[in-house]
Structure 1
Amino acid sequence: MKKLTLKEIAEHIGGTFNVDAEFTEVCIDSRLCKPGCLYIAIKGENFDGHDFTASAFANGASAAIVHHAVDADGPMLMVEDTHKALMMLAHWYRTTFDIPVVGLTGSVGKTTTKEMTWFVLNEKFNALKTEGNLNNNIGLPRTLLRMDENTQAAVIEMGMSNRGEISELSLIAEPTVAIISNIGVSHMENLGSRENILKAKLEILDGLRENCPILLNGDDPYLAGAVIENHPVIYYGIDDKTCDFRAINIEQCDESTEFDIVYEGKTQHTVIPTIGRHNVYNALAAFGTGLQLGVTPEEAVRGLAKYTPSGMRQRMKIVNGIKFIEDCYNASPDSQRAALKMLSEMKADRKIAVLGDMLELGTISEESHRNAGLLAAKTKVDVFMTYGERSLASAEKARECGVREVYGFTDKKALADKLFETLKPGDAVLFKASRGMALEDVINDLYGRMK
């Protein structure tokens, strides 16, 4: 972060301060404060950061922003609402940078697209990116406030659970390029329909700077039909031959995917070190974004080749001759479908799918879990196992559809026991579930037994 003072930020976000101070970092956790930090006392549902202001100063904080009196001594800026102050500060600070800012959202694939886009841009720029899942109205401002004199580009992920949230984030970040990866059924519980999810995702246009482009998945029927005004629209895809950036000749290898990108009458061979057709879409978005911002095709594919899956997203690991696909960060009907298709295209003696509950589906939960069992049959998995109460419906449907080996579990140890008994060298096993199911516990149990 560039060096700022309380006096300087008060001129832009309002408030009154007792004594001026300089800072070069923003922190909302008093335990992480150190000299040079500005501590912002955020009030949450279960805590009030104001209670820890004295601790922040004790740990070395140079200043604090508060919205009511606190029992602490030090340079402080008093504002009406500290959370709003954080967002206002981030927005003003972002406007002090004349750099490309990529804003991206979507129902599935946001984080992978963000990571791939960062690798592409980092071939040409010193690029900043959203770390982890800091994609809400606290995390996004903190990401923007990490920009400094050396930052030449930023890739900012925007998440949401309700209408209005993407609009708020986009207005803070003011992207110069926007990406919407797809319109799925995540957050159906809150928004009720895909049409409403589309409206929520299109709120990214609210902050997109005038005449700046938006990249859309042209194979997504909702995005392909979206009406966009005052912004160039760039489509990427696989099936729609009219897309501006299109992947052809897709070949899935054990731990990578190769394909050619056709654009502007040219063809660029590309290799990404991850598997699955859905990741080809993510790579297309990253490639197209890079070219919009002056990255050469050669730089873009070099960046894509450096991508590494993060967290528990589609990591491939071979243990004792068994291919493990760890994809336990999140799950929705769309991402589950993509994961099962990916498994079906893998080279393996047997294909085993382990699916856990999908959360936050509201009224479509029962139907979605039964559809998962149908998909398991259609993609010809050899062994189908489920974990969780909701996923018992998946197991039941898979049996009805003719999958020969089906097991439903609500106990992790029982699931791990059955998997350990079942798995053999030459198998490929997919683990896919919502984050709340912590399916990685089963994976780690198996790894421990296989040592």
Structure 2
Amino acid sequence: MKPHTVEEIRAIISGDLIQGSDEIIIHFGAYRLKQIKNQNTILFSNKRITDWKRLNEFFPLVLVTDRKSSQSELPKNLTVIHVEHLEYAYWKFVHYYRSQFQIPIVAITGTSGKTTTKEMIKHILSSSKKVTSTNLTNNSRTASLQYLLSIEEDTEAAIFETAVGSPGDILRAGEYFKPTIGIITNIGAHHLNYCKTLEGYIQAKGEMLKIIEPTGVLIINAEDINTRKIDTNSFPGKIVKVGTHTTCDFRAFNIQFSHDGMNFSVQHKKRNFQMFVPGFGEHQVYNALAAVAAVYEMGVTIPEAAIQLKTFKKFNKQLQVIEGINESIILDDTWSLTTTSLEAALKVLNEIGKEKKKIAIIGTITDLGSWGYIIHEQAGELIQQIGVDVLITIGEHASIMANHAVKMGLSSPVYTFKNTILVYDLLNEIVDSNTIILIKGDMYSKHISELALKLRKKK
């Protein structure tokens, strides 16, 4: 956080000093007690705090509140600012802080690929700029204040994920970040337990158009069916399309699998550029296109971006290729699970598993609410269309996709398990050096992650 004195912050939020010192310098901000992790923090809260002793290590501490407390309730070494309306004062501070920085700020949303795209942008920019960003997949709305305050005087660019758990999440993130560039990587089916319908989820993702600055840039995957359902006519800024179609502003062609990544060409303004991105799958090419388009808007040339992209380090558990049991190959994709990422993973399995026996182990897709049955059926249809030699599902809901795949015509052997206890023994029998295994789940499915580790070749 750019340092401010208590006196400066009081002027911003129209607060009165009840006790303490105007000279204290603030370096951190919080609106929940558990967010206080450092000294010189300003806390916006109207809750009654009874256990001040456990906060002793974080003094000097500044409290902003609209609650009237007796002097006996508050520690004498606590600085207290009283305001008329706490929420109004909080947002006044947030908007003021954001207004101090005239730098490119990127907001990224999407069902799949947002973390990878964010990390690609960060990697490309970090070679020449001071960059701040969301930390790995930690894109919780409760962390937005901390991420905003991570922008400091020498920060030259910021990249933040804006996830959707429910409608309004992106709008709220926009109140903090006011992005100059927005990216929608793709829209599948996820978080339907709160968004209720796929249309509701698409609308929630479409909130991105409302939070980008009026003169800003929106980058979209022009070939994503659900993204195309968003009405962009009201967006006042510039729209940049990425994809493989000739109408795209950044068009990928000559896409080829190579050792540990993808080779492809990019056409932009009638010029062609050769690129390589670590990580398998066409979806990785789309992630790279969005990243290149974003940094291009920030003044990085396409050749410069291509050089940096070569050294990008993909995440573990994102289609990570490793040696497995009985000399097999494991594709560990236990980072996340949606129908969008499942389709991408199955396509990679088929491409790099040519001439091998292809086994897919798939867990349950979560956060679907009443849509769970339908989405798992859609997953089963994807499995049948793309094809595998052996299908193994783990979990009661996952068995829906197995049953539907068979109903749609999948003739390969299919095994359904409620848990992972017997899966390893089965694999030990049917796996050999001519086998490639895709194991697909999300980071919250511990039993799937543990099975993936167990399947690795013991060193």
The residue type paired with residue 428 of structure 1 is I
Cross-structure match for 2:342: 336
Q: Which residue of 1 aligns with 2:175?
A: 171
Pairing partner for 1:440 from 431, 444, 449: 449
1:325 correspondence with 2:331: yes
Contact 1:237 1:284 in 2 (8 A): yes
Match in the other structure for 1:367 = 374
1:213 aligns with 2:220: no
Greater mean deviation of Cα atoms: 188-197 or 407-416: 188-197
Cα distance, 1:374 vs. partner? 2.9
The residue type equivalent to 1:63 in the other structure is L
Query: Which residue in 2 is equivalent to 1:125?
Result: 129
Q: Supply the distance in 2 between the matched residues of 1:90 and 1:318 (Cα, whole angstroms).
A: 49
Task: Tell me the distance in 2 between the aligned counterparts of 1:414 and 1:81.
Answer: 59
- Separation in 2 of the partners of 1:425 and 1:32? 52
Instruction: Answer yes or no: is the 8 Å Cα contact 2:219–2:240 preserved in 1.
Output: yes
Distance in 1 between residues matched to 2:222 and 2:2, nearest whole Å: 39
CA distance in 2, matches of 1:234, 1:402: 40
The amino acid across from 1:340 in the alignment is: L
- CA offset at residue 402 of structure 1? 3.0
Query: What pairs with 1:270-285 in structure 2 (closer than 5 Å)?
Result: 270-285=275-290
Q: Distance in 2 between matches of 1:336 and 1:374?
A: 11
Task: Name the CA distance, whole Å, in 2 between partners of 1:208 and 1:227.
Answer: 12
Identity %: 27
Instruction: Look up the match of 1:306.
Output: 311
Task: Output one character per residue of 1:81-127: Cα deviation in whole Å (capped at 9) or x when no partner.
Answer: 87876665443222111111111112222111111121122233221
Change in Cα spacing, 1:14 to 1:340, as seen in structure 2 (3 Å) is farther
Return 398-407 or 378-387, whichever deviates more.
398-407
The 8 Å contact of residues 189 and 375 in structure 2, kept in 1 or not, is answered as: no
Residue in structure 2 matched with residue 100 of structure 1 by the alignment? 104
Aligned: 1:381 with 2:392: no
Larger deviation, residues 68-77 vs 254-263: 68-77
Structure 2: give runs of 5+ residues left out of the alignment.
Answer: none
Counterpart for residue 26 of structure 2:
23
| Contact 1:65–1:79 (CA under 8 A) maintained in structure 2 | no
How many Å separate the matches in 2 of 1:84 and 1:442? 49
CA–CA separation in structure 2 for the residues paired with 1:80 and 1:134: 33
2:3 match = 3
- On the 8 A contact 1:31/1:59 being kept in 2, the answer is no
Distance 1:207-1:271 versus aligned 2 partners, 3 A rule: same
1:234-253 pair list within 5 angstroms: 234-238=240-244, 240-253=245-258
Instruction: Tell me the distance in 2 between the aligned counterparts of 1:86 and 1:66.
Output: 9
Partners of 2:211 and 2:13 in 1: CA distance = 19
Report if aligned partners of 2:28, 2:38 keep a CA contact under 8 Å in 1: no
Contact 2:26 2:42 in 1 (8 A): no
- Equivalence for 1:408: 416
Q: Secondary structure at the match of 1:425?
A: coil
Q: Structure 1 residues 396, 34: closer, same or farther in 2, change over 3 A? A: same
Aligned residues: 443
- CA displacement at 1:78 relative to structure 2: 4.5
2:162 is aligned to 158
Pairwise mapping of residues 413-428 of structure 1 onto structure 2 (< 5 A)? 413-428=421-436
TM-score of the two chains, using structure 1 as the length reference: 0.89
Aligned counterparts, 1:45-84, within 5 A: 50=49, 53-56=52-55, 58-65=56-63, 67=65, 68=67, 69=69, 71-72=74-75, 73-78=77-82
The 10-residue stretch of structure 1 (308-317 or 386-395) with the greater mean CA deviation from structure 2: 308-317
Q: State the superposition RMSD in angstroms.
A: 2.7
Q: Can you give the 5+ residue segments of structure 1 that lack an aligned partner in the other structure?
A: none
What is the alpha-carbon distance in structure 2 between the residues aligned to residue 65 and residue 125 of structure 1?
Answer: 35
* 3-state SS in 2 of match to 1:258: strand
2:268 is aligned, of 255, 263, 268, to 263
**Alpha-carbon distance change, 25 to 421 in structure 1, aligned in 2, over 3 angstroms:** farther
Deviation at 1:14?
4.5
CA positional deviation for 1:79: 5.4
Shift of 1:135: 2.2
**Shift in Å, 1:23:** 2.5
Residue by residue over 1:259-280, the C-alpha shift from the partner in whole angstroms, topping out at 9 and shown as x without a partner, is 1111111111111111111111
Where do 1:278-297 residues align within 5 Å? 278-297=283-302
The verdict on how the C-alpha distance between 1:118 and 1:398 changes in structure 2, with shifts beyond 3 A counting, is same
Task: Identify if the C-alpha distance between structure 1 residues 372 and 423 changes in structure 2 by more than 3 Å, giving closer, same or farther.
Answer: same
